């Protein structure tokens, strides 16, 4: 192997995100409505911290928001790849809702601003 090929191979190997691959199947889905006062409260109190957290860096974050909170569970607001997740939500009402999804299955389903801490506890356990 010539020197240039060796350097390229070494650089490529070191760029593989080992830790990210271990948890790349984790998604955190926020379900809210633009007219939802508790959703606005969560965004004002928690969202900035969440986006800056180390946990956020290790998951896929998805926001499902509708103009009216009563429409949050309508299929048209859920991207096509999330349809199987929507089908798993047992009670399709209430916002904000925080879902943690692993391997396509809901493993944590919390509803309400006060349940964000429970979502984070569940997520930290999954992230190890």
State pLDDT tens for residues 17-53.
Answer: 223 344 458 999 999 999 999 999 999 999 999 999 9
Give the domain CATH number at 49.
Answer: 3.40.30.10
Name the residue with tokens 């859920």. 78
Residue 59 lies in a domain: yes
Residue 7 lies in a domain: no
Residue 37 lies in a domain: yes
Does residue 9 carry a pLDDT above 90? no
Query: So what's the pLDDT on residue 15?
Result: 26
Task: Please state, in angstroms and rounded to a whole number, the distance separating the CA atoms of residues 33 and 29.
Answer: 13
Residue 62 lies in a domain: yes
Residue 91 lies in a domain: yes
Q: How confident is the model at residue 12 (pLDDT cuts 50, 70, 90)?
A: very low
Query: So what's the pLDDT on residue 6?
Result: 34
Residue 109 lies in a domain: yes
Number of domains in the chain: 1
> Pick the residue with more confidence: 69 or 3?
69
Residue 3 lies in a domain: no
Does residue 92 carry a pLDDT above 50? yes
Mean pLDDT of the chain: 85
DSSP assignment of 65-128 equals EESSGGGTTSGGGS-GGGHHHHHH-SS---SSEEEEEETTEEEEEEESGGGHHHHHHHHHHHH-
Q: Which domain holds residue 88?
A: 14-127
Does residue 5 carry a pLDDT above 50? no
Query: So what's the pLDDT on residue 24?
Result: 58
């Amino acid at each position: 192997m010539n020197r240039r090929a060796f350097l390229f191979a070494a650089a490529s190997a070191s760029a593989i995100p080992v830790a990210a691959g271990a948890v790349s199947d984790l998604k955190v889905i926020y379900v809210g409505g633009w007219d939802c006062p508790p959703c606005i409260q969560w965004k004002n109190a928690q969202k900035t911290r969440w986006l800056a957290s180390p946990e956020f860096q290790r998951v896929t974050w998805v926001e499902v928001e509708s103009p009216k909170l009563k429409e949050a569970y309508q299929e048209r607001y859920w991207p096509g790849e999330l349809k199987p997740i929507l089908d798993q939500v047992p009670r399709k009402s209430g916002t904000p809702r925080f879902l943690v999804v692993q391997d396509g299955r809901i493993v944590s389903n919390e509803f309400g601003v006060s349940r964000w801490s429970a979502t984070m506890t569940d997520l930290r356990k999954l992230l190890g």
